[in-house]
Amino acid sequence: MFFDEAKIHVKAGDGGDGAVAFRREKYVPRGGPSGGDGGHGGDVVLQVDPQLNTLAHFQKQAHFKAGRGGHGKGKNQTGARGEDAVVYVPLGTVVRDAASGELLADLAAPGQRLVVAQGGQGGRGNASFASSTHQAPRLAERGVPGTECWLGLELKLLADVGLIGMPNAGKSTLLAAVSAARPKIADYPFTTLQPNLGVVSVAEGYDFVLADLPGLIAGAHAGAGLGHQFLRHAERTRLLIHLLDGAADDPLDHFDQINQELRLFNPAMAERPQIVVLNKMDLPDARERWPRVKRAIEARGLTTYAISAATREGVRELMARTGSMLSGLPRPEPAADQIPVFRPEEAPAFTIERERDGWRVRGERVERLAAQTMWEYHEGVLRAQRVLEAMGVIEALRQAGVQPDDTVRIGNVELEWVW
């Protein structure tokens, strides 16, 4: 089975907590605060492994979590950084946000890496809060939770040339004739249930990758048949070999149908260079149709060939022409180049909502403050109150109508209003 789609969940490591500690060594006068900072959490990284060719390994594992940062210690010891989680994907993997479908990256280079979930920042220890006016602080910060999300992975084969055409046009037979690939071949529709790749050598030191794509039918762009599932693999190709069935009653009608499906799926694909090939020239009917097909195709400004994939008549000339055309075509650029998953967006600093049994304050900065504050330390509570007041949260709650003993929720923290 060829797996070219997967959905995975990634969770970066949480940052470690800062420490509250003081030096009391015999020969260290006025040692003071010595609580170290927490270590940063590990990242989740996607990395291209050219040895992989499907996304099948994600059928067994779909959740990936990086290591959390170590907690700070006394003597100003910083916690260890969390271990990164490296997730290997095949060449040609497109990464999207599973919720929105937004394109995040196109991993089209061997060894390419993409951080898809950033580890949380480590909390500061009490040594970081020391100042000339506050020489013995008894507060520290908790580590920031690591980011997490669901990602959609989509594999688009990296082939130079794509074989397209109706079912039974002879694509698999041609691939087997020109490469070492051994696709399943039989005389019934949809023999090819998955893309097949083969390497074609046209000259010493020069070869290209040829992909046999499943047969397309009318309505493939909208999901009919197998075409919709595999049309995206043709998007990577630089050149298309459009194989026509010489045994069909009207090969030109098939030609128009396939090009219409390409146009509806992706207009750019309809403009891609094509070599139109009439196959099965070993049959009398195909030889009879060839002059009419040749005139009609060449009238549209396209290159035409007549071959028999079964007897290999004209196949060598076709591959030589294919290699010649490829040498003059640029390689397509990736759709995107390492776009980080989590990008800052313009949004209000915070919002206040009335809930059935209290109030809810939302906002990235204010929720981070609540998550990092060690509420068991009185100095930590006072610092959080000062920051909330400086941000305008306290005044906004008053204007919203908060009353004494009301519950105020910030992230996972519940506070009681006492003013």
Q: Which of 179-183, 271-275, 329-333 has the highest mean pLDDT?
A: 271-275
Distance CA 26, CA 23 (A): 9
270 sits in which H/E element: helix 267-270
Give CA separation, 236 vs 94, 180, 331, in Å: 12, 22, 9
| Per-residue DSSP letter, 59 | G
Q: For the domain bounded by 161-327, which CATH number is listed?
A: 3.40.50.300
- 7: pLDDT strictly greater than 90: yes
Confidence at residue 87, expressed as pLDDT on a 0 to 100 scale: 95
Confidence at residue 343, expressed as pLDDT on a 0 to 100 scale: 46
**Contact of 263 with 293, CB cutoff 8 Å:** no
pLDDT category at 182 given cuts 50, 70, 90 is low
Quick: pLDDT tens for 87-128: 999 888 889 999 888 888 888 888 899 999 999 999 999 999
Confidence at residue 13, expressed as pLDDT on a 0 to 100 scale: 95
Confidence at residue 65, expressed as pLDDT on a 0 to 100 scale: 96
Confidence at residue 69, expressed as pLDDT on a 0 to 100 scale: 95
Quick: pLDDT tens for 385-414: 999 998 999 999 989 998 888 899 998 899
Distance CA 301, CA 273 (A): 11
- 296: pLDDT strictly greater than 50: yes
Confidence at residue 141, expressed as pLDDT on a 0 to 100 scale: 92
State which amino acid sits at residue 268.
A
Mean pLDDT of 297-319: 91
Confidence at residue 336, expressed as pLDDT on a 0 to 100 scale: 47
CATH C-level class of 1-155: mainly beta
Q: For the domain bounded by 351-416, which CATH number is listed?
A: 3.30.300.350
Phi, psi of 390 (to 5 degrees): -65, -30
Give CA separation, 109 vs 105, 289, 336, in Å: 12, 44, 12
Give CA separation, 154 vs 4, 59, 85, 232, 329, in Å: 6, 14, 20, 9, 25
Distance CA 163, CA 213 (A): 6
**Contact of 209 with 323, CB cutoff 8 Å:** no
Kindly give the pairing relationship between strand 407-410 and strand 413-416: antiparallel
Other CB atoms within 10 Å distance of the CB of residue 185 = 15
Q: Considering only CA atoms, which of 360, 320, 364, 325 is closest in space to residue 342?
A: 364
Q: What percent of the chain has pLDDT over 90?
A: 35
Confidence at residue 238, expressed as pLDDT on a 0 to 100 scale: 85
- Residue intervals in the chain for CATH 2.70.210.12: 1-155
Confidence at residue 178, expressed as pLDDT on a 0 to 100 scale: 83
- Residue intervals in the chain for CATH 3.30.300.350: 351-416
- 258: pLDDT strictly greater than 50: yes
Contacts of 44 (CB under 8 A, 6+ apart): 10, 11, 12, 64, 65, 66, 84, 85, 87, 115, 116, 117
Quick: pLDDT tens for 360-373: 999 988 998 998 99
Lowest mean pLDDT, pick from 49-53, 184-188, 350-354, 397-401: 184-188
- 345: pLDDT strictly greater than 80: no
Confidence at residue 204, expressed as pLDDT on a 0 to 100 scale: 63
Counting Cα atoms < 13 Å in the Cβ hemisphere of 322 gives 32
Block residue for tokens 């100095």: 379
Confidence at residue 215, expressed as pLDDT on a 0 to 100 scale: 53
Confidence at residue 207, expressed as pLDDT on a 0 to 100 scale: 79
Quick: pLDDT tens for 186-199: 444 444 445 676 77
Confidence at residue 293, expressed as pLDDT on a 0 to 100 scale: 92
pLDDT, mean over the chain = 83
Give the chain's end-to-end CA distance (angstroms, integer). Answer: 65
Mean pLDDT of 230-235: 64
Confidence at residue 364, expressed as pLDDT on a 0 to 100 scale: 86
Number of helices followed by number of strands (H, E) in the chain: 9, 18
Confidence at residue 133, expressed as pLDDT on a 0 to 100 scale: 85
Confidence at residue 337, expressed as pLDDT on a 0 to 100 scale: 45
Confidence at residue 338, expressed as pLDDT on a 0 to 100 scale: 47
Give CA separation, 136 vs 34, 66, 198, 290, 413, in Å: 10, 35, 70, 92, 27
- Residue intervals in the chain for CATH 3.40.50.300: 161-327
- 331: pLDDT strictly greater than 70: no
